[in-house]
């Protein structure tokens, strides 16, 4: 039922001539969920988001956003969404406040409400003290935060963020995600975000992995990681040979020494550790548990790693780069 979903998509397709960018995807995003669209360049993420934001028309299929049909209720959808796209769209010669005011006026927000909301969102994205500074003086991270604030100005039900951290350094990326995560605590909002950074998908409640225009799997990051394999446990013990022997006897686990530590794979590693301590009968000095990464997940579902797909030089991406020049 679309009424109970912030985003409800069935059989969505988009073709550019012979190129099938989105090949009939189904998707449900719950209200207040942080939902991630993950995939390499050219997977079709931006195309799908553009359709949901009413910027592009679908070739086939249906979609509702905040309960409104993206085809027949465009204006209603637009009023209910906030959008932050990859390409910066701030007026750098205007101040932070002027950028926000301009946007609010475009949305026909009443003057008093607009003044209050500008104060609120600048506070929310940590730019209250830079309100009257021109954007030209802002760092990349500050600009992106201002764009996110602008996307929130008219109190949207659903916020779409297309690669919100692209081109930013790792530290700034982490701080942008902190702001996004904080937002959820403060606002009654659904966040739909695309990224091709695996580690960023960890922030999402659920993620859909998109590849070649199709959604190959949708689940929570934890469930996806559990689905692809076991955790790796490494222990340093008083007597490694005995520890290996006991692991085999007690738990039927095949352990070996790697980098000076007894290493083995087991499901639910964190839950296994207490049993290990209580039953092994060999003193353990240190223990580390490593979960499978989302890179492992991507590999399992697509047969290649994210970096493989980027290094292979997706010709469509290259064509777009040329087109942008
Ligand atoms: N306007 C367009 N005309 C023709 N082809 C397009 C157009 N927009 C996108 N494409 C193609 O559709 C495919 C999907 O592109 P899309 O931008 O949706 O991918 P993406 O997953 O968002 O990638 P990125 O991470 O690079 O943004 C690509 O092959 C791309 O070249």
Atom 25, ligand 1: residue with shortest CA distance: 41
| Tokens representing residue 53 in the block | 């934001």
If asked whether residues 131 and 39 sit together in one domain, one would say yes
Nearest to 146 by CA among 158, 162, 135: 135
Final residue of a domain: which of 223, 248, 269?
223
* DSSP per-residue letters across 134-200: BGGGS-HHHHHHHHHHHHHTT--SEEEEESTTTT--HHHHHHHHHHHHHHHHHS--EEEEEES-HHH
Rounded (10°) CA dihedral 299, 303, 307, 309: -150
pLDDT at res. 307: 61
The atom of ligand 1 lying closest to the CA of 320 is: 31
| Tokens representing residue 150 in the block | 């602008």
Q: Is residue 300 part of a domain?
A: no
Nearest to 84 by CA among 6, 164, 141, 156: 164
Maximum pairwise Cα distance, the chain:
75
If asked whether residues 86 and 16 sit together in one domain, one would say yes
Query: Taking the mean position of all CA atoms in its chain, how far away is CA 110?
Result: 33
CATH number at residue 262: 3.30.70
If asked whether residues 282 and 250 sit together in one domain, one would say yes
If asked whether residues 200 and 239 sit together in one domain, one would say no
121-130: string of b/e by CB count within 10 Å (b at 16+)?
A: bbebbbbeeb
pLDDT for residue 126 is more than 60:
yes
Average pLDDT, stretch 8-17?
96
If asked whether residues 43 and 113 sit together in one domain, one would say yes
If asked whether residues 51 and 174 sit together in one domain, one would say yes
Final residue of a domain: which of 223, 240, 270?
223
If asked whether residues 239 and 219 sit together in one domain, one would say no
Overall number of domains in the chain: 2
* Listed range (2-6, 19-23, 99-103, 208-212) with the worst mean pLDDT: 2-6
pLDDT at res. 100: 96
The atom of ligand 1 lying closest to the CA of 86 is: 27
pLDDT at res. 246: 94
If asked whether residues 198 and 239 sit together in one domain, one would say no
CA distance 72 to 67: 12
Q: Is residue 311 part of a domain?
A: no
**CA of 44 relative to ligand 1 center, distance in Å:** 6
More confident residue, 320 or 28: 28
pLDDT at res. 303: 67
If asked whether residues 35 and 68 sit together in one domain, one would say yes
**CA of 100 relative to ligand 1 center, distance in Å:** 29
pLDDT at res. 269: 87
Most confident of 40-49, 126-135, 178-187: 126-135
The percentage of residues in the chain with a pLDDT greater than 90, rounded to a whole number, is 53
Domain that holds residue 237: 230-290
Long-range contacts of 296-299 (CB under 8 A, 24+ apart): 296/225, 296/228, 296/229, 297/209, 297/217, 297/224, 297/225, 297/227, 297/228, 298/38, 298/198, 298/209, 299/228
Q: Is residue 314 part of a domain?
A: no
**Does the C-beta of 42 come closer than 6 Å to ligand 1?**
yes
**CA of 225 relative to ligand 1 center, distance in Å:** 28
Q: Is residue 59 part of a domain?
A: yes
The answer to whether residues 204 and 194 touch, using CB atoms and an 8 Å cutoff, is no
Q: Is residue 45 part of a domain?
A: yes
Average pLDDT, stretch 276-282?
91
Please choose from 49, 316, 324 the residue to mutate so as to test ligand 1's pocket, defined by most ligand atoms within 8 A of CB: 316
CATH number at residue 150: 3.40.50.300
Final residue of a domain: which of 206, 223, 240?
223
If asked whether residues 90 and 14 sit together in one domain, one would say yes
If asked whether residues 22 and 141 sit together in one domain, one would say yes
The dihedrals phi and psi of 20, each to the nearest 5 degrees, come to -95, 95
Q: Is residue 218 part of a domain?
A: yes
If asked whether residues 142 and 286 sit together in one domain, one would say no
pLDDT digits (tens, 9 = 90+) for 40-70: 888 899 899 999 999 999 999 999 999 999 9
Q: Is residue 309 part of a domain?
A: no
């Amino acid at each position: 039922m679309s009424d109970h979903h912030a985003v409800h998509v069935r059989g969505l397709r988009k073709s550019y001539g012979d190129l099938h960018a989105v090949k009939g995807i189904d998707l449900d995003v719950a209200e207040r969920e942080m939902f991630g669209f993950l995939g390499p360049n050219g997977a079709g993420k931006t195309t799908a988001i553009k359709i949901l934001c009413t910027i592009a028309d679908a070739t086939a299929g249906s979609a509702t956003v905040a309960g409104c049909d993206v085809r027949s209720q465009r204006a209603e959808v637009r009023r209910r969404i906030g959008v932050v796209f990859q390409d910066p769209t701030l007026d750098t010669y205007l101040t932070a406040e002027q950028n926000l005011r301009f946007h609010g006026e475009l949305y026909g927000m009443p003057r008093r409400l607009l003044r209050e909301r500008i104060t609120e969102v600048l506070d929310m994205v940590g730019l209250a003290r830079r309100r009257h500074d021109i954007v030209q003086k802002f760092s990349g991270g500050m600009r992106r935060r201002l764009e996110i604030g602008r996307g929130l100005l008219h109190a949207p039900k659903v916020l779409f963020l297309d690669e919100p951290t692209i081109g930013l350094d790792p530290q700034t990326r982490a701080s942008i995600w902190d702001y996004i995560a904080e937002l959820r605590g403060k606002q009654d909002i659904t966040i739909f975000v695309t990224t091709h950074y695996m580690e960023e998908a960890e922030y999402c409640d659920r993620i859909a992995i998109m590849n070649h225009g199709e959604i190959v799997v949708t689940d929570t990051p934890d469930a996806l990681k559990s689905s692809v394999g076991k955790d790796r446990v490494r222990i340093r013990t008083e007597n490694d040979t005995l520890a290996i022997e006991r692991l085999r006897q007690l738990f039927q686990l095949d352990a070996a020494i790697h980098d000076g530590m007894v290493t083995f794979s087991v499901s639910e590693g964190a839950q296994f550790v207490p049993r290990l301590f209580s039953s092994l009968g060999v003193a353990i000095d240190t223990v580390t548990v490593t979960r499978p990464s989302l890179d492992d997940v991507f590999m399992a579902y697509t047969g290649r790693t994210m970096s493989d797909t980027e290094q292979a030089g997706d010709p469509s991406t290259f064509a777009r780069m040329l087109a942008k020049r």
